[in-house]
Structure 1
Amino acid sequence: MSPSLNRKAVMKLRVRSELVYRFDPPTDAIFQIHAAHWPGQRILEETLVLTPAVPFREDDAADFGARPLRARLSGEVTVLYEALVDNGQLAGLPPGAIQQDWTDLPADVLTYLWPSRYCPSDQFGRFVEREFGTLSGGARVLAIVAWIAENVDYRFGVSDSETTAARTFIDRAGVCRDFTHLGITLCRAAGIPARAVSAYADQLTPPDFHAVFEVWLSDGWWLIDPTGLAPIPGLVRIASGRDAADIAFLSTQGTCEMIRQAITVEAV
């Protein structure tokens, strides 16, 4: 699959995540916190430290460039990741980006046309046609993002880990993952491939892992932040997938307790 060519000058970002969790009883855990191996995103330096030191497995260059870290953890564990990343300078989606016929899409893009766990796009076809039916391509996606900005409030405590885009459409409030799920859902309902992306984000307040999405137009992926909280050039890709289920920064087989967590991103 070719990467999107929406790039300008070079931009370097220093990212850092410190995750302190208690795993009791011991459980298997998967972290997705590494900067991805992705065309145009170069990792200049990085370090990873687990305290206490435990055996782990890092799956380099997995799907979409993600690099999951797997380990069996017990008690209080600190995972510290730091990296200096050159991600070029990503540009925003132009209104003239072209929506391709399904027959012309790459085979591995097709899965991002269909409904997924948190993105029931098959329920929104009539709404999308009525609201955005006169537009296509980049103009249609930008109109969808503008509609979300006008009709959905960014608010903590309204949603939880089970909230779908259909619920957000009703509640008209949520956080970044909810904005992203709704954007993905409406784009897929419009026949545009869309997928979730987890990222480090410069200028995000408060600092945290950020959920955005990307659409396939004009033979490439274009990043979109439906919350408008982080500039596109300041995003460092971690993982991508159908929805939040594929891009979670921490997944465990058993229970765990967050002790503290700190994310920082600094433009260099």
Structure 2
Amino acid sequence: MKRDVSAYLDVQVHADSELEFQIAAARQPGLELTETLTFELDGHARQAREVLGPHGTRIHVLRCGAGNLRASYTAAVLGEAIVEPPSEYDLSIYTRPSRFAESDRLLAFAAAEFGCGIDNPETPAQVAAWVNRRIRYAPGSSTPSDGAVETLLSGTGVCRDFSHLTVALLRAVGVPARVASVYPPGSFPMDFHSVPEAYVQGTWRVLDPTRLAPRSCLLRIATGRDASDIAFLGNHGGDITVNGLWVKAFVAGPLPYDDFEQPLTLS
């Protein structure tokens, strides 16, 4: 499988700041990655520092003063990723409540809807299908501070909201679950995409309750507990304004069909 992805950000930095970008594809065994990542502040090249995170996640940290910052990333990716086996720490931390996946507030609700799912390999797909039926995809319907509970109450959201609710419900019934940011060939609208992953029979299985893109061609960027771990841009210090964001993702050949009810690993 060959995938070509790119991202471009135009950011106005209003005061000295430290920015964190998570837009580069995760480095994983099995993938051949050819890429370029550049930063320019007011037309002058700047060098970012790469920080390695879990599951191949890469954070590019850039200290910069006020000005117009442009980040550009392109990558050609061949192959399919070899999924690393989960550690005991993974299984522990991805079962706990987190900032945007408040599973502790959904325990009774999840038990009434799904029972206890830790020993049922069908539960993750059932939860994702339930979220797909119950939540309406509506751009602009949520705020960056909304979590799973707000999404459940409002009945609307975008991909991150679908992921948070799915992950929170799975954790509430005892299934370890996490979120991943991905490049999504075939998605409309085209943007950075968020999908949940559930621990099923010894490995991580990718779900997509939005059903916006075929899971088999998704390309992992970052992995974590919720959106606070996988945000494409973080700001520590001065105020910033995102003037523009463009994302592109393509797969060689016809776009594959996806039966979203079937188990699949994010490759």
Report how far residue 62 of structure 1 moved: 2.4
- For residue 71 of structure 1, what is the aligned residue in structure 2? 62
CA distance in 1, matches of 2:240, 2:8: 16
CA distance in 1, matches of 2:163, 2:114: 18
Q: Which runs of 5+ in 1 are unaligned?
A: 1-10, 91-103
- For residue 94 of structure 1, what is the aligned residue in structure 2? none
Runs of 4 or more above 4 Å deviation: none
Report how far residue 107 of structure 1 moved: 3.1
Q: Percent identity?
A: 36
CA distance in 1, matches of 2:133, 2:235: 36
- When structure 1 is superposed on structure 2, of 242-251 and 155-164 the one drifting more is 155-164
SS at match of 2:17: strand
CA distance in 2, matches of 1:87, 1:210: 20
Report how far residue 105 of structure 1 moved: 7.2
- For residue 209 of structure 1, what is the aligned residue in structure 2? 192
Cα distance, 1:67–1:200 mapped onto 2, change above 3 Å: same
**Contact map agreement 1:19 1:261 (CA 8 A) in 2:** yes
One of 34, 38, 57 as aligned partner of 1:45:
34
1:207-227 CA-partner distances (Å, limit 9, x unpaired): 110011111111111111111
Alignment pair present for 1:27 and 2:9: no
Q: Which runs of 5+ in 2 are unaligned?
A: 253-267
* Residue type at the aligned position of 1:189: A
1:81-125 CA-partner distances (Å, limit 9, x unpaired): 1111125289xxxxxxxxxxxxx9723321010100111101222
* Residue type at the aligned position of 1:38: Q
- For residue 161 of structure 1, what is the aligned residue in structure 2? 144
Report how far residue 134 of structure 1 moved: 7.3
**Contact map agreement 1:43 1:83 (CA 8 A) in 2:** no
- For residue 101 of structure 1, what is the aligned residue in structure 2? none
SS at match of 2:125: helix
1:7-51 CA-partner distances (Å, limit 9, x unpaired): xxxx110000011111011211000011001234x1331111212
CA distance in 1, matches of 2:211, 2:71: 29
CA distance in 2, matches of 1:87, 1:225: 21
1:133-152 CA-partner distances (Å, limit 9, x unpaired): 27653311111111111111
SS at match of 1:239: strand
* Residue type at the aligned position of 2:107: G
- For residue 78 of structure 2, what is the aligned residue in structure 1? 86
- For residue 214 of structure 2, what is the aligned residue in structure 1? 231
Alignment pair present for 1:15 and 2:5: yes
Alignment pair present for 1:255 and 2:256: no
Report how far residue 155 of structure 1 moved: 0.8
One of 188, 191, 206 as aligned partner of 2:171:
188
**Contact map agreement 1:12 1:87 (CA 8 A) in 2:** yes
Alignment pair present for 1:200 and 2:189: no
- For residue 204 of structure 2, what is the aligned residue in structure 1? 221
- For residue 264 of structure 1, what is the aligned residue in structure 2? 248
CA distance in 1, matches of 2:116, 2:221: 35
SS at match of 2:239: coil
TM-score by length of 1: 0.86
Alignment pair present for 1:244 and 2:233: no
CA distance in 2, matches of 1:134, 1:221: 19
Alignment pair present for 1:108 and 2:90: yes
